Structure 1
Amino acid sequence: MHLIVVGLNYRTAPVEVRERFALSEQEMPLALEALKQTTGILEGVIVATCNRTELYAVVDRAQLCGHYIRAFMEQWFKISRKEFNSHLYMYEDDQAIEHLFRVTSGLDSMIIGETQILGQVRDAFFLAQEQKATGTLFNRLFKQAITMAKRAHTETSIGESAVSVSYAAVELGKRIFGRFDDKKVMIVGAGKMSELTAQHLHSNGAKEVFVVNRTLEKAQELAEKFKGSAMAMDEAIDRLKDTDIVISSTGADKFILTRKHIEAAMAGRKKKPLFLIDIAVPRDIEPSCGDIPNVFLYDIDDLEGIVETNMAKRRKEAAIIEDMIAEEQEIYQLWYSTLGVSPVIRALQEKAAAIQETTLDNLLRKLPELDERQVKVIRKLTKSIVNQVIHDPILRIKELAAEKRSDEALKLFVQLFALENEVAHLKAEEKAEKISRKEHAASTKETDTASNSVLDAQNLLSQLVSALR
C-alpha cells in the first residue's frame, strides 16, 4: 500500500485555474463517494480551500493510481487533464506524510503559520470519516497531523505576529489602545485593503466603524458588511474630532487629510490622542500631521517594517515546527512499519496462550485435589511465564519490521516459531471480514438505489394523478 497526495495550490496554479476546482459544502460528500469508487483507492480525503484542492489517498499502486486520480479530477470537474496537468503536484509515502503535516500546521500556507487551514483539514477528515472513506492508515495519520498542528500553535508563537499590512495596522492600534470596543474607527476608502482592515477591526471587537468614500454607495456596501455607518468626505472631516483611529487607503493623487484638517479636529479633542494609519500609495495624509501633539501617524513603510520583522519571527518559529514534523513523521513511520507484523505477533500470542491452556488442563487432570485458589495462582503464574518468554521476540520482530529487509525477517520469524497455520488462519479471517464489509456496503447501496427508484416511481405516479385531475 502507498500514501499519495495529488493537488494544486496557490504556488502551482493561478486563481482562474484554482476556482475551477472549487468544491462547495454540498458537493463534497458526493465527490468523496465518487473518489471512494475510483479504481485502486482504498482510503480518501479531499481538502478544498480557496488556495488549494488536494486529494489524499491510500492506494495499492502509486503511479497507476495517480493516473486514476487524474481521471477522477477530469470527470468530476469536467476539465480536460491537458488544462491542469502542468499545475499538479504529486507526493508519495514519506513526502505525502510530510506534506500533510506542513499543510495542517500552516507552513505550506500563503501566510506562514495561519490557523484557518487546520480547521479546514480537520473538517475534511471528519467528513471523510463520516462517509467511511478513511480506514486504519488515514484515521491514524490525520488525527496525528491535527494534534501536532494544535501543539505547534500552542508551543510556538508562529501565529501571534501580524504579517499583512492591513492586519499590522490593526495590531499597531491594539498596542496603543489595547482594545477597540470602546473606540470610534474611521476607514477612508472602500477598496480591498479597506475591506480587509475593516474585517480585522470587526473581529477585534470594534463596534463603531465609519466608512468614508468618494462614492457613498460603495461606502454603504462596505459599512453594511460590518454593521458600520457610511458617510461622505465632508461629513467625515467634521467627525474627526470624535474619532480615535483613522485608517486611510484610497487611490487619490493628493492629500485628502491635511495638517489643517487634523489641527482643527485636535482643537476639540482636549489632548485626547488621535491615531492615523496611512496605507495608501501615494499617501492620503499630509506627513507633517505627525508633528502635531497627541497625533500618532504611521505610513505603509512603517507597517511593512513591522510585517517583515514579524515574518522573520514566523520563519524562526517555523524552523521549530519543522523539527516537530520530523519527529512526528518518524513516529508515524515506525507505527506504519509494524502494521504488517501485527498478524504474526497475534499468531504467536494465540499459539502461546493455547499451549498454556493445554498444559494447564493436563496439570489439573493430574492434580484434581487442587482448590479454586490454587488453580487461580497456577493459572496466573503459567500465563506470566508464557508472556515473559514471548516478550523479547515480539520486541525484536517489531524492530526488524522497521528495517529494509523486514519481509525476510518476518518470514524467518514465522518459520522459527512454526506459525504458518496460525498466520494463514488470521489472514483468511481478515479477508473474509473485508469481503463481508464490501458486500454489506454494496447491499446498502443497492437498497438505497431501489428505495430511490420506488420514490421516483411514486413521485411520477403522483404527478400523473395530479395532471389527470
Structure 2
Amino acid sequence: MAVGVNHRTAPVEVREKLSFAEGSLEGNLSRLNSHPVVEGCVILSTCNRTEIYAATRKLDECLNAIWEFLAQKSGASISEIRNYTYVHTLQDAIRHLFRVAAGLDSMILGETQILGQVRRAYQLACRHRASNRVLNTLFQQAISVGKRVRTETGIDQNAVSISYAAVELAKSKFPELSRHKVLIIGAGKMSELAARYLVANGVSGVIVSNRSYQRAAELAAQLNGLAVRFDQLYRYMEEADIVISCTAATHYVVHYREMAEVVARRQGRELMIIDIAVPRDVDPAVGRLPGVTLYDIDDLQQVVDHNLAQRKKAAALAEGIIEEELQQFMQWLSMQFVVPTIIALKRWGEELKERELRRALNRLGPLSERERKIIGSLANSLVNQVLHVPITQLKSYALTPEGHLYMKVLQNLFRLELPGEKPVGEASRERAAER
C-alpha cells in the first residue's frame, strides 16, 4: 500500500504539516511499524511529497492506521487528510513507486534527485528495522528501475529549467568549461541556480556583480568566487567568456556602446551572453557585435520546450520498462504467497510416504537392502508424481487474480497446516461449534 500527498494533490501548507524531518523518522517509523496490521513500512518525505509505503495483509485496517498516524503527527483531522491524500494498493502501489523512482511523477519530468531520496528513505527504514522482506525486494527493484530508465531512455539528459538550459547552452559553446570564467549579473534565484550549475560542471572561476554589493559578496562566497561592484561591470566583462544576466531592472543594464569597447579590448575572444531577465537586461544590438553570441529568455524557452518534448518521448519508453519490471515483481510476489502452501503440501506427502512405507515394510518382514531400496524408491516416485501436477498448476495460477482462491482450495482439499494458521479441520469445527 502507498498513501501520500504531493505537489499535485495538496497545497504547500498541507505538505508542510505532513512532511517528516529526517531526525524524526526513527521514532515515526517505529511507531507506525508497531501497529499490529503493519508488517513493514518506509516513509519517503521530500519538499514536494510525503508517502508511506506499507506491507500488510489487511488493507482497510492498514489504511485507517496510516490515516490516524498522519493525523496524530500533523494535528490535522482525518477527514482533511483523506481529502488530500492518494491511496494506491497492490499493483498500483508498486507501479507508483517505480514511476516515482524513475522521475515520472516529479514536478520536473525525469529529474534525478528523487532516485537518491528513494534510496535514502529505504536505507533509513532498513537501519531502523521498519522494512520487511517484501518491501526490501520492492525498493531494491524500484532503485534498479530508476537507474534502468535513466540509462535506457536518457530522460534526464535534456535540460527543462531555464537556469539549467542556460548552462547547457554554455557547455555547447565551450565544451571544456574548466578553461573559462563566468560573470553572473544579478544575485537572484535564477542567477544563483545557473551559477551553481556552472560550478558543478567545472567552470574555472565565477565573478558576481549586483547592485547590492553585499548580496553579490554573499553569493560569491558561497561559490568560492569574486564579488565586484556594479560600476566595475564592463571591466570584468573583459575577463569572462560566459555572461549570465538576470536582474530585476526595468531597463537595459548592458549597453551597446560600452560593450563595443569591451569587444575591442577582448581582441577577438568569443563571448557568450545569456540574458534570462524579463524585461531584458542586455540591449539586443549587443548580439550584432563581432564574436558575441546573445541568447534571451525566448531562445532558452525554445530549448526547454524542445527538451521537454524529448523527455516526454523518453517517458513513454519508460512506462514500457516500468510495466515490464512490474510483471517481474508481481511474479516474485505471487510466488511468495504460494510457497508456504507448496512446502506444506510436500511435507504432507513426505509424512504420508514415511507412514505408509513403515507399515508396508513391517508387514513384509525380512527384506534385503536392495529390496528395501526398490520399495522406498517406488514410494518416493509415486508421491512426487502425485504432487507434481498440483504444485506446477498452483505456481501458474499464482500469477492470476484467482491465485489465492486456488491456494485456499488446495489447503482445504489436503487439510494442510501452515505456520501461524489453524488446521483446516480444526477451524471448521470451531466455526460449527460457534453456530
1:94-133 aligned at under 5 Å gives the runs 94-133=91-130
Structure-2 change in CA distance of 1:82 and 1:228 (3 Å): farther
Q: What's the offset of the Cα at 1:237? A: 1.1
Which residue does the alignment assign to 1:241?
238
User: What pairs up with 1:70-469 in 2 under 5 angstroms?
Assistant: 70-81=67-78, 84-353=81-350, 366-368=367-369, 390-414=387-411, 418=414, 420=415, 423-424=416-417, 426-427=419-420
Please tell me the residue identity of whatever aligns with 2:3.
Answer: V
- Partners of 2:110 and 2:152 in 1: how far apart? 13
Report the Cα distance in structure 2 between the residues aligned to 1:314 and 1:172, rounded to whole angstroms. Answer: 18
Give the superposition deviation at 1:44. 0.9
Q: CA deviation at 1:405?
A: 3.7
Q: Mean Cα displacement is larger for which, 358-367 or 223-232?
A: 358-367
Q: Look up the match of 2:426.
A: none
Secondary structure at the aligned position of 2:178 is classed as coil
Tell me if structure 1 keeps the 8 A contact 2:341–2:418.
Answer: no
Structure 2 unpaired stretches of 5+: 424-435
Q: Which runs of 5+ in 1 are unaligned?
A: 431-469
Residue type of the alignment partner of 1:368: E
After superposition, the C-alpha distances for 1:25-47 in whole angstroms (9 at most, x for unaligned) are: 21111111121123532211100
User: Which of 62, 84, 96 is equivalent to 2:59?
Assistant: 62
Taking a change above 3 Å as real, the CA distance of residues 187 and 305 of structure 1, as seen in their structure-2 partners, is same
Q: Which moved more, 1:311-320 or 1:173-182?
A: 173-182
Q: Deviations over 1:129-159 (max 9, x none)?
A: 2222121321221112111111111111101
CA contact (8 A) 1:278 1:300 kept: yes
- CA apart distance, 1:358: 7.3
Amino acid at match of 1:263: A
The Cα shift of 1:200 comes to 0.7
- Distance in 2 of aligned mates of 1:65 and 1:133: 15
Secondary structure of 2:244's match?
Answer: strand
Question: C-alpha distance in 2, partners of 1:358/1:39?
Answer: 40
Rate the CA distance shift 1:215–1:116 in 2: closer, same or farther, 3 A.
same
Structure 2-normalised TM-score? Answer: 0.88
Taking the aligned partners of 2:396 and 2:365, their CA distance within structure 1 comes to 38
1:193 maps to a residue whose letter is M
Once the two structures are TM-superposed, the CA of residue 49 in structure 1 deviates from its matched residue by 0.5
User: Which one-letter code corresponds to 1:149 in the other structure?
Assistant: G
Equivalence for 1:10: 7
Q: Distance in 1 between matches of 2:365 and 2:250?
A: 101
Match of 1:20 in 2: 17
SS in 1 for 2:164: helix
* Contact 1:244 1:275 (C-alpha < 8 Å) held by counterparts: yes
Deviation at 1:359, TM superposition (A): 8.5
8 Å Cα contact 1:39/1:68 also seen in 2:
no
Write the distance in 2 (CA, Å) between the matches of 1:90 and 1:368. Answer: 64
The verdict on how the C-alpha distance between 1:369 and 1:323 changes in structure 2, with shifts beyond 3 A counting, is closer
In structure 2, C-alpha distance between the alignment counterparts of 1:261 and 1:380, rounded to whole Å = 99
SS at structure 2 position matched to 1:345: helix
Structure 2 CA distance, aligned partners of 1:127 and 1:383? 48
Instruction: Report how far residue 305 of structure 1 moved.
Output: 0.3
Secondary structure of the 2:119 match is helix
The CA deviation at 1:253 is 1.1
Q: How much does 1:223 deviate?
A: 1.2
Q: Secondary structure at the match of 1:283?
A: coil
Report the counterpart of residue 454 of structure 1 in structure 2.
none
Bigger shift: 213-222 or 76-85? Answer: 76-85
Identity %: 41
TM-score normalized by the length of structure 1: 0.82
Q: Give, as a single letter, the amino acid of the residue that structure 1 aligns with 2:326.
A: Q
Asked whether the equivalents of residues 38 and 72 of structure 1 are also in contact (C-alpha less than 8 Å), the reply is: no
Q: CA deviation at 1:337?
A: 2.7
The 3-state SS of whatever aligns with 2:336 is: coil
Shift of residue 94, structure 1, vs aligned partner: 2.3
Contact 1:290–1:296, Cα closer than 8 Å, also in 2: yes
Q: Distance in 1 between matches of 2:116 and 2:258?
A: 46
- What are the Cα deviations for residues 337-366 of structure 1, in whole angstroms up to 9, with x where unaligned? 333321221123334455677799859973
C-alpha distance in 1 between matches for 2:220 and 2:146: 35
User: 2:340·2:418 contact (CA, 8 Å) conserved in 1?
Assistant: no
User: What letter matches 1:7 in structure 2?
Assistant: G
Query: Which whole-Å CA distance do the structure 1 matches of 2:381 and 2:164 have between them?
Result: 63
Q: Deviations over 1:218-271 (max 9, x none)?
A: 111111111111111121211111110000000111111111122111112221
RMSD: 2.8
